[in-house]
A and B are shown apart, each in its own frame.
Chain A
Amino acid sequence: MKYELKKLFSQRFFLFFMLLLLAANCVLAYSAAPSDKAWNRALDDFWTCYHAAPVYFDTQYDAYTTAREHAISMQIEAVLRGEDPEKYAFEEPRTISPDSGYTDVEFYNALYGRKGYGERYREKLDRILTDTENSLQVVTDPYMTEYLHEVRATYTAMYSLSHSENRISGWDAYFAYDSMGILLLFAVVAAAWLFASADSGRGTEQLLFASTKGACGVVRQKILALLVFCAIGTAVFEASAFAMFCTKTTFAGADAFLASAESYLLCPYAVYIYEYALLRVVIRFAVLFSAGIFLLFAARMLPLVFGYPAFFVAFLGIQYAMKNSQTTPGTAYRALNLFYMLEPSHYFKRYSSVDLCGRSVPFLPAGAVLCAALLIVCTVLLLFQWKKTPKRKRFMPKFPVFLTYTPRTSFGFECKKLLISQKLLLPLILLLVIKAMICTAAMQQSVSYREQIYRNYMLTFQGLTIDETERALEQEHKKFLGLFAASEENSQRYANGEITYTELLASNLKKRTAEKKYEIFLDVKAEYERIQSLSCQGINAELVYGTGWKKLLSGAPDLLLLLVPITASFAYTAENKAKLRPVLHATPGGRTRMFLHKLFICNAYAVLWCVLFGLADLWWISETFTLPVWNAASASVPELADAIGVPTLGGAFFAMLAKRICMTSILTCTAVCIAQTAKSFLASPLVCFAGIFAPHLLSLLLGGWTKYLSVPNLYCFPPLPDPKSIPLAVFCFGIFAVLLFKTIRKLSAD
């Protein structure tokens, strides 16, 4: 085993890579660690909340139960006295029933402003407080009044805490915490790959397998070495982060802060410090080791560039299968944290290495089950297929017809070489399948309440003349205003004793429903007014269906079209691997002509993939959308849409396809040029870099319309709304990192 470790650590570039990761880990941990001052502030905030709200969720429930029991006993007594029991009927406080109480996680999210949560929950708190105030005005029951007072105190404290400026920066901690997991995963990926490929020299493996230990012994040693590496890696990473944490904070503040049993949710570092630390380390180690084992086998059977995406694709595939196998969503469904198919951010957030290595506690079952399943599959493949199948045929798609065909032109030969050398053809095909699955799922997707309302509005308003639309909007607006006025009036009438409290609640309920609808209506109205102002400027525009696609399509497979230029650069793989380039260059047509032919073929290949993905989109659109126009194009580059107006559905589709083809072609040309002028393995990371980071840099430097030049925007159909989405970037960055790692390895080998 120690020889296996020596093989790993004797590679200087690997040590350099590890040190780099460790340094990044330390920097992140240090930058995110809260200082004593921050702890004290957080502690103050917490105790403010704690004292102000002696009744928290449990107490809240107790108060609710007591009030209800009291009401029931009063009703019984009323019956015994011969009075009308309805007089003492328990009036369910709608907004503060136990069912509407927050979970701890939601509370935490509300307090620490987790992306997409903070604002929403602050609004919710705000609304609850208003409702409580309203309820206090009408409720006469003393128990209920007391209960409402307590609730008001609790939520007031929560509200003030959620608006506190002294909060520890949740995002900083969150980022550092997650990054550690990802960095560790990269380390394990690198190590697994090295363990797998260390003996790949010509004849080395046969030599080792022929030894007394045999193949099993060698593999066992590798697994043991990986285990040791994961253990040491996890320990070193955790320890370094902890050390960084210690340099910035003493534990006086943290100790006090963590004294409360339920406060651990308020800061992820709580998990670090106390009894959860060991659990977390063990879980992280287990997940990393499982991932490492998978990658070890994957890398033995496949090139790493394939192994890494395969790792994720397999995860997603299994998650999807699990989701479909669930008949009723329940605990198991939640525990396995199943495939959130239709929202890209969730899609990645929940299944990326972030969750598996960072906040892995709730997701352990999913990670463990998946890793185990993959491990079994790999082992079975290894046992039954590995030795029987020649190396070049393992998992590779076969092209029997194509292989027997001898091309008649250089184009044909280049095409043949490209397809034969396609190590990533299978993942691309898988991507296409996933894309098709997503499109199918999108078709079957039931429309949400909000979507339904919006859709109804659009169906009503679209196609009307300007006057008609205006009139219809006006009419709808009046309807809302009338409803709200009626609700106000009912409150007054209740105060005057003209209506019962139940009638008031019914009226309020109507108002609440109307309010939801009203928000959407106002959006539609605002869009209409924007279009009107464009019309005034002489720009032809009309009201179009403008939402829904965010939820109906996951852009992930589209994003991974980035693989196409990378695979195109593999057109040079065969001759580079065989060191045949000097021979080809020594021929009259082996330079410019061959390069041009390659360029042409690679672009044709890239366009073909874009068209295939486009067809999947078209299939989905034609099946799902009945609306005549669609604003995908305007969403991707609003300025452009404002200038040229809204295209038809077909127009929008072809615009997006053209955009995608342009992006792919540019990157393909870059990849092929790099592969020609430098080495093909350099092409992949550079293209990744160009594709992911260059647009960001460009938009930072130039601003303006260049901000739309991101990979998600140019590739995805429809474009993704948030090109800087971390979960999306994580995956792309993962591929990039692996390729970069491979490059460093190659370079050091050369």
Chain B
Amino acid sequence: MTDFLLRIEHVHKSYKHVKALDDFTTELKNGVYALLGPNGSGKSTLMNILTQNLRQDEGEIFLGGENIRGMGKRYRTMIGYMPQTVDVFPSFTLYDFLMYMAHLKEIDRKTACDQIDRLIEQVELEDYKHRKLGTFSGGMKQRALLSQSLLGNPSLLILDEPTAGLDPMQRIHIKNILTQYASNTCILLATHIVPDIDGLATDLIFLKQGKIVSQGKTERLKKSLDGIFWEIPLTEDLQTSSSAQFRVVRYVQRDGQTFARVFSAEKPCENAVSVNAEIEDCYYYHFEARL
């Protein structure tokens, strides 16, 4: 297994007067990269550039030292892409759809058949193999799309909100599938559902207005925020005034008591207990607390 290395260098992309990506530079290796940011931060633009559906205004992208612009088909053979919820071809059966995608990915028929059977089994859609996609529920469509992105064992898997609209079991299921592939695939995953990447993402990229706000290994980023998040048990007098007194990240219910998870550089009150930062806290820190 060769080491995968995708280098994105100084990529700029603007839509009229809006900067979607502003001097975006990073390196992607095998592992799960979670792309986090509010709406309009440039996540989808980056994905579209990586899938060559958009062309950057400036900057280059190199795969193993070779500019992807000149690689054409060779590059696209190595990628798998799953966009946000789409309707797929309603009149195609799941098998048709995957077979069609296999054709487009130029996978020979025999290999395609094997892979399709395996993937359908992985995403637990065996019973729906010959059902039309138009009859699929949102979750089933997501799984169908995920399976198509995994066709051909891509080295770079680009997933745009793969768990949107799924029930908890399906989200766990997709998470498990991705974990299986994480060791030898570079997975770039954009999502708004932060808990979904907890335990999955090896790296986090925080994107704001097209710029990287922060980037690094998940654990390191979480550790770097230790000591600034606190939990305060809510007493009666604090019930109503907590949000005014502290910068509350969220409220947590535990053992019949409500705790306010607050952000503060210093201990906010006597009974506040320091807690380890989670990914959601990181998100809060980068997009709210810094404001």
Contact = CB atoms under 8 A, between A and B. Distances in A.
Interface of A: 390, 392, 403-404, 406-410, 413, 416-417, 420-421, 574-575, 577-590, 593-594
A583 B89 contact: no
Contact of B83 (A390, A409, A583): A583
B179 interface: no
29 contacts: A392-B90, A392-B91, A403-B132, A404-B93, A404-B130, A406-B93, A410-B100, A413-B100, A416-B96, A420-B89, A575-B89, A577-B87, A578-B88, A578-B89, A578-B90, A580-B86, A582-B53, A582-B81, A583-B149, A585-B51, A586-B79, A586-B80, A587-B101, A587-B105, A588-B104, A588-B106, A589-B103, A589-B105, A590-B76
A583 B149 CA distance: 9
B99 interface: yes
Contacts of B76: 586-588, 590
B88 A586 contact: no
Nearest to A587: B104
Interface string B16-51: 000000000000000000000000000000001001
A593 B93 CA distance: 23
B104 A594 contact: yes
Given A583-B82, A588-B105, 11 more contacts: A406-B95, A413-B99, A417-B89, A578-B88, A582-B51, A585-B52, A586-B79, A587-B105, A588-B73, A589-B73, A590-B104
A585 B158 CA distance: 13
A641 to B, nearest CB: 47
A176 B183 CA distance: 74
B155 interface: no
A584 B151 CA distance: 13
A582 B101 CA distance: 13
Contacts of B90: 392, 574, 578
B77 interface: yes
A593 B73 CA distance: 11
Contacts of A406: 93, 95-96, 99
B109 interface: yes
A584 B83 contact: no
Interface residues of B, number: 38
Chain B facing A: main interface SS: mixed
A394 to B, nearest CB: 13
Chain A facing B: main interface SS: helix
Contacts of A417: 89
A584 B83 CA distance: 11
B148 interface: yes
B53 A589 contact: no
List the 4 closest A-B pairs by CB distance, nearest first: A586-B51, A587-B104, A586-B81, A578-B87
Contacts of B92: 416, 420
B64 interface: no
Which of A578, A579, A584 gathers the greatest number of chain B CB atoms within 10 Å? A578
Contacts of A593: 104
A577 B89 CA distance: 9
B59 interface: no
Contacts of A588: 73-74, 76-77, 104-106
B104 A589 contact: yes
Given A406-B99, A588-B76, A589-B104, A580 B51 contact: no
B134 interface: yes
Contacts of A583: 81-83, 86, 101, 145, 148-149
A587 B73 CA distance: 8
A589 B106 CA distance: 6
Contacts of B79: 586
Interface in B142-175: 145, 148-149, 158
Nearest to A409: B103
Contacts of B145: 583
Contacts of B100: 407, 410, 413
Which of A578, A583, A593 gathers the greatest number of chain B CB atoms within 10 Å? A583
B70 to A, nearest CB: 15
A406 B112 CA distance: 13
A410 B103 contact: yes
Nearest to A594: B104
Contact of A586 (B53, B86, B93, B106): B53
A578 B86 contact: yes
A231 B158 CA distance: 54
Which of B82, B83, B91, B134 gathers the greatest number of chain A CB atoms within 10 Å? B91
Contacts of B73: 588-589
Contacts of A577: 87
Contacts of A407: 96, 99-100
Given A392-B134, A582-B53, A574 B104 contact: no
B147 to A, nearest CB: 12
Given A585-B52, A588-B106, A579 B83 contact: yes
B61 to A, nearest CB: 14
A408 B109 contact: yes
Which of A392, A421, A579, A589 gathers the greatest number of chain B CB atoms within 10 Å? A589
